[in-house]
Amino acid sequence: MRFVLVTIFPEFFESPLQAGLLGKALEKGILNVERVNLRDYTHDRHNTVDDSPYGGGPGMVMKIEPLAEALDDVKKKWPIRKTVLLSPRGRTFNQKVAAEIVGWEEVCFICGRYEGVDERLVEGGFVDEELSIGDFVLNGGETAALAVLETCSRLLPGMVGNALSVEYDSYTSGLLDYPHYTKPREFRGLGVPDVLLSGNHAEIDLWRRKQALRATRDRRPDLLQESKLSKADQKLLRS
């Protein structure tokens, strides 16, 4: 899968793309990330990418010409299937949207800054959709792009060592994850549930499923309403 990131801060991604699973996926070629510096598509001495808003008001607005030129060039270089503008006004990102994006295979993300981008980028069909990572406002689209990229990358085959980890992830399964414990067996008076030390894998699976159902019922009952629970799950939930 390829992510092309159009940004005025290509260096922003330097360290996250080297660390942990993302770094390994890039090395293995499971994931390709291209960073495109928006300032390379400006034609003035100061590499200007922003200007004051028509109608007045606070802040600056990202100009459409460098963005449109960058997108033309990106489309010449890579077979981009979808172009996405990160924006607090967009469709809310979640695990289902991540799976959809993975299906696009070649995507370009535009990272906004300042007060946002000239609306003609959306009106003129330069982007396929606007995507928000939640009901809050970041300084720029880079953090949002990274969150989307990292979530999508977990779904790529070969990315996470044990595919079951992803299957059991919160939201992927439709439920929140069950609780995890590791050594030591006792810490400052806090123990580990006996069943996890029993070696009985059928019992352990049942306990974990019950915990996942309980956590979802207590913390996110809305998810339970959306998911189609099996008869066995419904019985566990009642118990």
Q: Active-site positions?
A: 88, 115, 154, 169
For position 113 contacting ligand SAM by CB under 6 A, the verdict is yes
For position 10 contacting ligand SAM by CB under 6 A, the verdict is no
Which of 26, 30, 68, 138 contacts ligand SAM by CB under 6 A? 138
Q: Which stretch binds ligand SAM (CB under 6 A): 47-55, 131-139, 178-186, 200-208?
A: 131-139
Nearest Cα residue to 111 out of 137, 146, 81: 146
Measured from the CB atom, the residue of 23 and 140 that comes closer to ligand SAM is: 140
For position 137 contacting ligand SAM by CB under 6 A, the verdict is yes
DSSP letter at 52 equals P
Size of the site for ligand SAM (CB under 6 A): 19
Measured from the CB atom, the residue of 48 and 143 that comes closer to ligand SAM is: 143
Which of 4, 107, 141, 173 contacts ligand SAM by CB under 6 A? 141
Most distant pair of Cα atoms in the chain: their distance: 70
For position 115 contacting ligand SAM by CB under 6 A, the verdict is yes
For position 66 contacting ligand SAM by CB under 6 A, the verdict is no
> Nearest approach, Cβ of 133 to ligand SAM (angstroms)?
4
For position 108 contacting ligand SAM by CB under 6 A, the verdict is no
For position 88 contacting ligand SAM by CB under 6 A, the verdict is yes
Distance separating alpha carbons of residues 92 and 94, to the nearest angstrom: 7
For position 144 contacting ligand SAM by CB under 6 A, the verdict is yes
Query: Token digits for 158?
Result: 């070969």
Q: Are 152 and 1 in contact (CB under 8 A)?
A: yes
Distance separating alpha carbons of residues 59 and 50, to the nearest angstrom: 10
For position 63 contacting ligand SAM by CB under 6 A, the verdict is no
Measured from the CB atom, the residue of 54 and 136 that comes closer to ligand SAM is: 136
Residue the block writes with tokens 């720029």: 140
Q: Are strands 2-7 and 129-132 parallel, antiparallel or unpaired?
A: unpaired
For position 215 contacting ligand SAM by CB under 6 A, the verdict is no
Beta bridge partners of 110: 6, 85
Which runs of E-coded beta strand occur in 10-128? 32-37, 50-51, 61-62, 82-92, 106-110
Beta bridge partners of 117: 62
For position 54 contacting ligand SAM by CB under 6 A, the verdict is no
Q: Are strands 129-132 and 106-110 parallel, antiparallel or unpaired?
A: unpaired
Measured from the CB atom, the residue of 113 and 154 that comes closer to ligand SAM is: 113
Q: Which residue is nearest to ligand SAM (CB)?
A: 112
Distance separating alpha carbons of residues 115 and 118, to the nearest angstrom: 9
Q: How many CB atoms lie under 10 A from the CB of residue 148?
A: 22
User: Which residues are near ligand SAM by CB under 6 A?
Assistant: 86-89, 111-113, 115-116, 132-134, 136-141, 144
